Structure 1
């Protein structure tokens, strides 16, 4: 069942010491093969829907999300940025900064929360990931950094951490991706890195 949330602030803000200590668990995130833990749709600004099932579309991104409508300051005409179609965040890190309530995870503004190592050496730009039985997404080169809202919702120290050099190297704030093969996705789905042949097969099937 889908759940909607209009909450705008997480109930706790951790200190830098608490955050740094918690990074030990984040570092245990699996490489290559992981799990999609949460799918969040953003129908409008500051609104979140936690989905039991989502549809990824090559043109729309996460169907029903406002990515296309909100546009982007990073494009010459203000249209939606094609390489920022999906925002993906490590679920162990969001659990650290937000706690166990998935509604508080959704405040981050990302759509996919995954138990997977997001380091660039594990997931370089251009690599493709299978999500569930159908969908394929591709990691893009667009940087995904914390904004003022992230600081307001999770605390100044969490914001400083994601902006730090180690935080950016680990992609603690997450990464951007685009949909290359449409499909239905659900929390609990397997997410795994595709080899070049596998990615080509899915994209052309």
Structure 2
């Protein structure tokens, strides 16, 4: 990665109203990112969601998780989803979005109030379900977007709105495409 300019806290806080205006029931899938290996990203125009693999070709399954007793992949963390308004505020250059570590970037209100665990969403031919696994900003996220960004997404309002994103699992496999409608069921 190249030297980055980070967005200051004042700018981040000023963008909260825009984030809060995200659609509640129907949004758009704006970016699909596959992570074939650590520190590798592939931006896809189309992807396959699978019950076992999550996003086909992504390293979720082989990467494992610290949240399972045996270190295997966590079934409720197949997909990491981030609000495009949130990442757009943190990284105005869309080329940097893929480094957040999420696979799906959608324009939809990801808050607990709007998408509590158990909520199902249709994306293209697939259906996914929001899980209760927290998705928090980490050291890599701070390196990529700055200390103000990590404080912002991990703040009380950041957690309420899920500014860092949410986790989900696939409940019906299918093809998804950039530009697909994302609808709450």
Give runs of aligned pairs for residues 26-37 of structure 1, distance below 5 A: 26-37=19-30
Taking the aligned partners of 2:87 and 2:4, their CA distance within structure 1 comes to: 13
Give runs of aligned pairs for residues 1-205 of structure 1, distance below 5 A: 8=1, 11-101=4-94, 103-132=95-124, 134-194=125-185
Q: Alpha carbons of 1:10 and 1:170: their partners in 2 closer, same or farther (altered >3 Å)? A: farther
TM-score (norm 1): 0.88
| Coordinate RMSD, CA, aligned | 1.0
Name which one, 1 or 2, has greater alpha-carbon Rg: 1
- Structure 2: 5+ residue stretches without partners: none
Count of residue pairs brought into register by the alignment: 185
Taking the aligned partners of 1:174 and 1:10, their CA distance within structure 2 comes to: 25
Structure 1 residues 61-97: Cα deviation after superposition (integer angstroms, max 9, x where no partner)? 0000000010111101111000000000000110111
**How many Å apart are 1:9 and its aligned residue?**
5.5
Q: Alpha carbons of 1:23 and 1:9: their partners in 2 closer, same or farther (altered >3 Å)? A: farther
TM-score (norm 2): 0.97
Runs of 4+ in structure 1 off by over 6 angstroms are: none
- Structure 1: 5+ residue stretches without partners: 1-7, 195-205
Residue aligned with 1:75, SS: coil
Taking the aligned partners of 2:25 and 2:114, their CA distance within structure 1 comes to: 7
